[in-house]
């Protein structure tokens, strides 16, 4: 099948009428772009959109084996998490922590399918006050334990000196601005799309909107290389690469753990590490993190 679908073709692909396609674009975020007045739908993004909105996953065929030294973390990408995993592997011989960069929604699905011990996530709820709880409730049969990893500042990265004079979200829709975007299913993309909608900006008007990368650092590197003027990412990337940062909001970045695996040796080692000075020092060396509640169980109040 070709990579760009027409309205008629995407309607056939989804087995719906064409009028419903326009409703899904407006209300449900069906990925689309307008070229010469006609709607086109990138097949890859439509497939990702379907996966992102899938519920009632089939039950997993098996369970994670008993803990024997391999700690699997999957979900949202983060610089401090990468450094903490390296610290864990240094401090706990006989244990190895590995990370799968799947985005926040991918992490929840991996947790549901028993593919990981810990899922990392920062999915902003509709009320814009809480994170992750509603998403976990919809995705998982049982609400997991939720432990805060950190708070971090989300925003828009722009080139050093801000030559395009980008000062707020609305500015990225101006002619001549090219962005680099994060993947569907990531908490950063969810927040970015929400802010675009609040600003009344249509995605198809943004050059580069459908060009995606999988890590915050990749957003910064694309901007640093001059291939993009702006993109959504966390503040630590801007500080490390010398880019300008336009703040959007502080967010809570959490670790989700099924109650069956919460007391696994490696899980407890990792959570315990969040109270140690070595971890605090890592965060203090990266601008844009707050670790005052790191390691705190935010749901439930008692395990």
Residue % of the chain over a pLDDT of 90: 73
Q: Could you tell me the residue ranges of all domains in the chain? A: 4-51, 70-152+252-299, 154-250
Query: Which CATH number applies to 70-152+252-299?
Result: 3.40.190.10
Phi and psi torsions of 183, nearest 5°: -75, 155
How much is the pLDDT for 52? Answer: 66
* pLDDT tens-place string over residues 136-181: 999 998 999 999 999 999 999 999 999 999 999 999 999 999 999 9
More confident residue, 29 or 236: 236
Q: Which residues, listed in sequence order, are joined to residue 61 by a DSSP beta bridge? A: none
Distance of CA 52 to the CA centre of its chain: 12
* pLDDT tens-place string over residues 13-68: 888 988 888 888 877 778 888 777 788 888 878 887 786 666 655 555 567 889 99
CA gap 16, 261 in Å, rounded: 41
More confident residue, 85 or 12: 85
Q: In the chain, what's the furthest Cα-to-Cα distance? A: 60
For domain 154-250, give the fold.
D-Maltodextrin-Binding Protein; domain 2 (3.40.190)
């Amino acid at each position: 099948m070709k990579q760009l679908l027409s309205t008629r073709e995407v309607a056939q692909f989804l087995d719906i009428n064409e009028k419903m396609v326009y409703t899904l674009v407006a209300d449900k975020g069906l990925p689309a772009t307008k070229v010469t007045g006609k709607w086109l739908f990138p097949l890859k993004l439509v497939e990702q959109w379907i996966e992102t909105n899938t519920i009632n996953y089939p039950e997993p065929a098996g369970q994670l084996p008993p803990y024997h030294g391999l700690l699997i973390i999957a979900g949202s990408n983060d610089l401090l998490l990468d450094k903490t995993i390296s610290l864990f592997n240094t401090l706990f011989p006989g244990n190895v922590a590995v990370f799968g960069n799947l985005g926040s929604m991918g992490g929840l699905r991996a947790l549901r399918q028993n593919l990981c011990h810990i899922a990392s996530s920062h999915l902003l709820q509709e009320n814009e006050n809480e994170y992750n709880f509603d998403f976990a409730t919809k995705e998982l049969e049982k609400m997991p334990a939720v432990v805060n990893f950190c708070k971090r500042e989300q925003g828009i990265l722009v080139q050093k000196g801000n030559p395009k004079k980008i000062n707020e979200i609305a500015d990225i829709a101006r002619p001549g601005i090219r962005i680099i975007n994060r993947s569907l299913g990531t908490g950063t993309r969810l927040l970015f799309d929400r802010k675009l909608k609040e600003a009344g900006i249509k995605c198809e008007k943004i050059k580069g909107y459908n060009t995606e990368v999988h890590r915050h650092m990749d957003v910064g590197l694309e901007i640093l290389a001059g291939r993009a003027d702006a993109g959504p990412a966390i503040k630590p990337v801007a500080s490390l690469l010398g880019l300008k940062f336009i703040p959007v909001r502080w967010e809570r970045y959490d670790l989700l753990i099924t109650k069956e695996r919460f007391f696994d040796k490696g899980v407890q080692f990792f959570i315990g590490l969040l109270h140690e000075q070595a971890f605090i020092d890592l965060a203090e060396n990266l601008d844009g993190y707050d670790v005052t509640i790191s390691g705190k169980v935010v749901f439930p109040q008692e395990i």
